[in-house]
Structure 1
Amino acid sequence: MRVQTEEWRRFIPGVRMYKGKKTCFYNGEKLWDEENRENLIYDEEELHSWEVIIVLPGVEVIPVGTFSGCENLKTVIMSDSVRRIENCAFEKCKSLAFVKLSRHVEYIRGWAFHFCESLTSIFIPPSCREIGDKAFQGCKKLIILHVPQHTQLGKNVIADTALIKASFFQTDDDGEYITREEVNDWIKSHHDDNQFSLHRACSTFNPLDEVIFDIVKRQGLKAFNKTDSIGVTPSQYLSNNSYSEIKEQKIIKRYILHMMGEII
């Protein structure tokens, strides 16, 4: 009998230990009955035990409330087949700290990541057409959010987050804001100033090695540690970017060799 490899086992649906963590390999089945407000396959205790969710290839939609309340969930990795994340799909996943979205996701519906209190960063791919109302409301630690210019944003997408608190916009006691269009424009443009060119290059969906290197050549290595208007450095953007394979240390090494060549 042929031995199953870890790589092959990744594509088998179900729940099992994977790399030392309780992992759900999700194949698109309906886990939550929204009408009757009940779990369909796994009980609440089982759902609370999951640490990682890997959405398998072929899944196009994550239905309403599918992983809502998975309190121990820390990591979500989606295959690039996912195109829609429905309402409240990951609501109240309080330990969720890392999300890699599908490169082809088109819609993130309202309250999709509502009150994911440990989430610090999210990078939205260019394929995304729309993010619904309050999609990231209550993500109290969320400070890094990259959104393409063409993506439509709903109401209070970043209400009660570190990002809105670091801005100059006024909010009410629930962290909600009434200047919807102004905030949504600011989310997409707060790096437009030339002094934040390295921040912009490091926080894009697909950062380019040559672009980053050219900026560092002009601004020097200290630019990696310069904070922007919300207190985040280019180093933080680059290290949190789930789609980037660029390593800051390689850029630094290349810069040093470049400078040594000029000196010699």
Structure 2
Amino acid sequence: MRVQTEEWRRFIPGVRMYKGKKTLFYNREILWGGDEFGHPLIYDEEERDSWEVIIILPGVEIIPEFTFCDCKNIETVIMADTVRRIEEGSFRLCEKVHFVKLSTSLEYIGESVFQWCKSLISIFIPPSCRQIDECAFMGCHKLIIFHVPQNTELGNDVIVGTKLIHASPIVFHDHEEYNIETNNWIKNINNEEQYALHRACSCFNPLEDIIYEIVQREGSLEVFNRKNSIGITPSQYLEANPYAKVTEQKIINRFVLEIMGEL
């Protein structure tokens, strides 16, 4: 009889310990009944509160409304690249979530999906995402890194109650105009030329050669510590970026070796 490896077990739905964390491997099950005031199905509240990691398995295209809402101890969410839609309130009130890797095929984030995820510090939206509905990240108090492609349509009050909105220079005068100005500001935080490295480190799939070229042009590794208007450095973007395959240390090593003439 063949022994199942950890790699193989990753694709079996259900709850089990994985890399020391209690993990739900989700595979299209309907876990919640009704609206935000509904009730859990299959797993009771005590079981839902014990989950630390959610892994959305390959083949899942839609995460239904309120599927993981109020799962108090989830820290990590990783989605297979088949997920296209996350419906209303799916991760609402998951107060300990601090790491989310979205599907690279994601097209839509529904209303209040990550509302009141108070520990979430950063989120990187893939280029495939066409729309983020209203209040999607409302009340995510610690959220400061929010990378959004230019083509993504943002609804009203997407980042109300976040650390990022408090850093905004936009003055409230009219609700509709305020949302338009704020959403435009979010997408253009790093548009100035002095923030080229910020853009390179926060984009989808940061490329080593582009990052290295900017560092070379600046002539100093200190550029990694340059803060933008919201106080974030390229180092912080690169470290938080779940799609990055290059590290700051790799760039540093390459830079030093070239200075020493060993490249």
- 1:178 is displaced (CA, Å) by 5.8
Superimposed CA distance per residue, residues 118-173 of structure 1 (whole angstroms, 9 cap, x where no aligned partner): 0000100011000000100111111111111000000011111011111112469x
Residue in structure 2 matched with residue 141 of structure 1 by the alignment: 142
Structure 2 equivalent of residue 204 of structure 1: 203
Structure 2 Cα separation of the partners of residues 17 and 233 of structure 1: 35
Percent identity, please.
59
Instruction: For residues 80-126 of structure 1, give each alpha carbon's deviation from its aligned partner in whole angstroms, at most 9, with x where no partner exists.
Output: 01000000000000000000000000000010000100000010001
Instruction: Judge conservation of contact 2:112–2:137 (CA < 8 Å) in 1.
Output: yes
| 1:45-87 deviation line (CA, Å, top 9, x unaligned) | 1101000000001000000000000110000000001000000
Task: Name the CA distance, whole Å, in 1 between partners of 2:146 and 2:180.
Answer: 17
8 Å CA contact 2:172, 2:178 repeated in 1? no
Letter in 2 for 1:118: S
Number of aligned residue pairs = 260
| Aligned-CA RMSD value | 1.7
DSSP 3-state at the match of 2:77: strand
Per the alignment, residue 164 of structure 2 pairs with: 163
Distance 1:243 1:2 in 2: 34
Equivalence for 1:122 = 123
Counterpart amino acid of 2:134?
D
Per-residue CA shift, 1:156-199, capped at 9, x if unaligned? 11111011111112469xxx986011111111111110011111
Q: Give the superposition deviation at 1:37.
A: 1.2
Q: CA separation in 2, counterparts of 1:73 and 1:245?
A: 25
Q: Which runs of 4+ in 1 moved over 3 A?
A: none
Do 1:15 and 1:24's aligned partners in 2 also have CA atoms closer than 8 Å?
A: yes
Listed as ranges, the gaps of 5+ residues in structure 2 are none
- Structure 1: gaps spanning 5 or more residues: none
SS at match of 1:216: helix
8 Å CA contact retained: 1:109, 1:133 = yes
Aligned residue runs from structure 1 range 1-264, under 5 A: 1-34=1-34, 37-170=38-171, 179-219=178-218, 220-261=220-261
Map Cα deviations across residues 2-52 of structure 1 (whole Å, 9 max, x no partner): 111111111110001111110000001110112581111111111010000
- Give me the TM-score of the superposition, normalised by structure 2: 0.95
- Aligned partner of residue 211 in structure 1, secondary structure: helix
Inter-partner Cα distance in structure 2 for 1:34 and 1:228 = 43
- Structure 1 SS opposite 2:146: strand
Whether the 8 Å contact between 2:205 and 2:245 is mirrored in structure 1 is no
